[in-house]
Amino acid sequence: MPSEPAPGINGNPPVPANATRFRALSIGRSVVFEGYEVKVRMDDFFGGHIAVLGNTGSGKSCTVASVLQSLFGKADEFQARGATIVVFDVNGEYANALIPLAKENGIGVDHIVLDGTTADGKFRLPHWFLEQSEWELLLQASERTQIPVLRTALGLTGLFRETSPEALEVKEHFIATCIIECFRGADGDSPVSKFQRVVSLLQKYPTDDLNMALLQKHGANAQYGNFAGNNLHSFLDDVRAKLREDVDLPPYRRIPFTFGDLEECLDFAILYEEAHGNRQIRDYCSQLLTRFKSLRDRSEYAFMRYDLSPGDLIPTKEAFLEQILGLSPNGNHWQKCNQIIIVDMNAVEDEIVELVSSVLARMIFRLLRQAEPRNRFPVHLLLEEAHRYISESPSRYAIDASKIYERIAKEGRKYGLFLLVASQRPSELSKAVLSQCSNFVIHRIQNPDDLSQIRQMTPFISEAVLKRLPSLPKQHALVFGTSVNLPTTFKVKEAKPLPKSDDARIKELWFHEEGRPVFIELAQVKQANPAQGQVP
């Protein structure tokens, strides 16, 4: 007797009686047994960390694209609607292969481009999403002198936007301390210079008791920067009344603030330290301030600088994570709208790639750690060219992304966060990350250091199998791990369409008829050199 179709959900058509869920995913055909499909068990393959390794041009990107196309290419009812694949695409090659997977009422693909600008439709990362430790790394703050100042400044960015009575009391204590220090000042500062600094403080951060009216009350002379008669002492007495004993430094609350706010709060924090006897702190923090100003002015960091004006719609962490995880709010719950999210970072340097990937991974990891019930929303991070930002050696940039990925590799499984690491240099990858991978797809590898790394990871594989790795043809690979019964060499299913990683056709591009045009877009070059050909 034929089975009845399962009822539909949320008004959708009923599930066909013959619908099936993937238990195994075909990734190619065996090169030993003709016609034999090589499959990986779904739960074992995607339920752990995966490494796809191989020399450049061996077919890694095509393998990853082929696997995802097979996964999302099903046409029956049970599609992978609950999947979340966040692609860190450092070469801008996956959009071509994955965007066609989007289908109505099925699979969604979002393509987010990071090029460092603030243009509409471009990726933006609000700077207040950064944690305190990330600011410390980004500004390379030294532990003994600069980190305490930076922590105080970050705490002040939230304090000056709070309105509670407790916050007001702490705020007035900080303002009063800095006003007193301004009038004490350096010996070379003129009275007018000291006075103007106080005026700036009171204009920028006025309170009910500490404001410009207090200056006027004591007969301040703005033109000459002094007070009538002996009124400076009475003014300072009123200011000292706002000082408090044993005031705790404000914590960093990541309330929205501008780069200008942080710059002023850094000055506040330095003044506060000077008021407590650390007279050389400004010299000690000069490099920190220089790095901050560089971060503020460099065009490639424009994507993370927000200048907030009254009435602006402030980006929230929740809305940001909804976009990164392909979610849309639906009442008290979320609903999947995109299963693949491509973060295209082809236009930025490794320094930006490391920062963005580190912050996104940390935010997703924290969300999944706090989610209840645990491990019910699996997320896979596809890390293309992972050796560029998950290195065994310390990063030469401020943010060391390998730290968060090593933690995810060790702890992510229990929260449903998995890594899919693609790299052409396994010997340069973090060994802590590679050691936690439970499945491997190995393409042609010829470098002796990389081969040695593979041998260390796979002691149970015969030497004869490993010796074949340097001579594997393109689009061929060795798969082994918990998702297959035996290590198997196979030909990868062809990706259609291909990612933008195909080889240059030298014969066609070099040998052609005279006068043939060069099909390459030079708009960015022209934009970068607008005065080319002009004599300065």
**Per-residue confidence at 150, pLDDT binned at 50, 70, 90?**
very high
Lowest mean pLDDT among 63-77, 271-285, 393-407: 393-407
Look at residue 445 in the predicted model and tell me its pLDDT: 92
* pLDDT value of residue 152: 92
pLDDT for residue 396: 62
How far apart, in whole angstroms, are the C-alpha atoms of residue 342 and residue 491? 26
Segment 218-249, tens digit of pLDDT: 877 766 666 766 788 888 888 999 998 878 88
For residue 385, pLDDT over 80 is answered with: yes
Contact assessment for residue 317 and residue 127, using Cβ atoms and an 8 Å cutoff: no
Do 131 and 362 touch, CB atoms closer than 8 A?
A: yes
pLDDT band at residue 271 under the 50/70/90 scheme = confident
Mean pLDDT of 151-179: 87
> What's the pLDDT band for 268 if we cut at 50, 70, 90?
confident
Q: Could you read off the pLDDT of 326-376 as tens digits, one per residue?
A: 998 887 788 889 999 999 999 998 888 888 999 999 999 999 999 888 889
The percent of residues above 90 in pLDDT, for the chain, comes to 39
Whether pLDDT at 306 is above 80: yes
Q: Is the pLDDT higher at 273 or at 381? A: 381
Handedness of CA 249, 252, 253, 258 (dihedral sign): positive
Q: Is the pLDDT of residue 12 over 60?
A: no
Per DSSP, the residues of 491-509 read EEPPPSSPPS-PPP-HHHH
Residue 427: pLDDT over 80: yes
Percent of the chain clearing pLDDT 70 (strictly above): 87
Q: Is pLDDT at 491 greater than 90 in this prediction?
A: yes
Neighbour-count burial for 386-416, b at 16+ CB within 10 Å, e otherwise: bbbbbbbeebebbbbbbbbbbebbeebbebb
| CA pair distance 19, 248, nearest whole angstrom | 62
54 versus 505: the higher-pLDDT residue is 54
In DSSP terms, which residues pair with 227 in a beta bridge?
A: 220
Q: Which residue has the higher pLDDT, 96 or 10?
A: 96
Mean pLDDT of 383-395: 84
Averaged over 383-397, what is the pLDDT? 81
Kindly state the DSSP code that residue 248 receives in the 8-state scheme. Answer: P
- pLDDT tens per residue, range 124-138: 999 999 999 899 888
Check residue 8 and give its pLDDT. 46
DSSP 127: G
The yes-or-no verdict on residue 506 having pLDDT over 90 is no
With b for 16 or more beta-carbon neighbours within 10 A and e for fewer, the 77-106 pattern comes to bebbeebbbbbbbbebbbbbbbeebbeeee
The residue-averaged pLDDT of 364-391 equals 91
